[in-house]
Chains A and B, each alone.
Chain A
Amino acid sequence: GNSVTQMEGPVTLSEEAFLTINCTYTATGYPSLFWYVQYPGEGLQLLLKATKADDKGSNKGFEATYRKETTSFHLEKGSVQVSDSAVYFCALSPPNTGGFKTIFGAGTRLFVKA
């Protein structure tokens, strides 16, 4: 079946530190991969996405590369800010199944200290 596994949190970093949040997936076929971010008290927002192998999604300084050989989609940012404190969800969307349900990882909470 389809599943997403991401590193457990919380992750606590100082401002300007390098961020990596690991995400691996299990899927049949070629799913689309996403990172969603949830700021305190708000809904899920799409952060970035990649729809095929070797694609790199990027937004707001965050990047993730679709690695089919390692079934991974790790999220990275070179220099985090306090405003990046949020919960980050890795997710996949199965390809053209006739139904549709995004499958989410458990989320990783990030705290960034000034």
Chain B
Amino acid sequence: AAGVIQSPRHLIKEKRETATLKCYPIPRHDTVYWYQQGPGQDPQFLISFYEKMQSDKGSIPDRFSAQQFSDYHSELNMSSLELGDSALYFCASSLYPGRANTEAFFGQGTRLTVV
């Protein structure tokens, strides 16, 4: 079965550079979520999209932005990177949760290292 695809799997950037992470949800899923997991920490919710509109916002820095496109894939854009942005970034997808307790399916994550 198709899963959530994230690219790239690994990314190394220098401080103050820009990074773009991509997420391709499971076919027919209309909702995408982004999480950040720092070393040894639990995943923190960043932002979510439903039908190409932002549906919820968590602890996403102002330096980051995200969008969902017409084919439902999503991109997380990170600018002015800082060392503290080094983390594993997960994307997840689901059907809109208004359909009662749907679960999210996670991608394998993009490991971003800022040097």
Q: Which residues of A contact B (CB under 8 A)?
A: 32, 34, 36, 42-46, 49, 51, 89, 93, 95-107
Q: How far is the CB of B91 from chain A (nearest CB, A)?
A: 9
> A107 CA to B92 CA in the complex, in Å?
18
Q: How far is the CB of B72 from chain A (nearest CB, A)?
A: 15
Contact indicator A51/B101 (Cβ below 8 Å): yes
16 other A-B residue contacts (CB within 8 Å) besides A45-B106, A102-B33: A32-B103, A36-B106, A43-B107, A44-B92, A46-B106, A49-B103, A89-B42, A89-B43, A93-B104, A96-B101, A99-B56, A100-B31, A100-B96, A101-B45, A104-B42, A106-B42
Cβ contacts under 8 Å, B31 to chain A: 100
Number of interface residues of B (CB under 8 A): 26
Q: How far is the CB of B36 from chain A (nearest CB, A)?
A: 12
Contact indicator B42/A100 (Cβ below 8 Å): no
Q: How far is the CB of B99 from chain A (nearest CB, A)?
A: 9
Q: How far is the CB of A33 from chain B (nearest CB, A)?
A: 10
Contact indicator B106/A43 (Cβ below 8 Å): yes
The number of residue pairs between A and B whose CB atoms lie closer than 8 Å in the complex comes to: 65
Cβ contacts under 8 Å, B100 to chain A: 95-96
A and B contact pairs by CB, cutoff 8 A, 9 listed: A43-B108, A44-B106, A45-B106, A95-B101, A96-B100, A96-B101, A101-B58, A104-B43, A106-B41
Q: How far is the CB of B87 from chain A (nearest CB, A)?
A: 13
Cβ contacts under 8 Å, A46 to chain B: 103, 105-106
> A34 CA to B101 CA in the complex, in Å?
11
Cβ contacts under 8 Å, B97 to chain A: 93, 96-97, 100
Contact indicator A102/B101 (Cβ below 8 Å): no
> A113 CA to B63 CA in the complex, in Å?
43
Cβ contacts under 8 Å, B109 to chain A: 42-43
Cβ contacts under 8 Å, A49 to chain B: 103
Contact indicator A99/B42 (Cβ below 8 Å): no
Shortest beta-carbon contacts, A-B, top 9? A99-B56, A43-B108, A100-B97, A32-B101, A44-B106, A101-B45, A43-B109, A104-B42, A51-B101
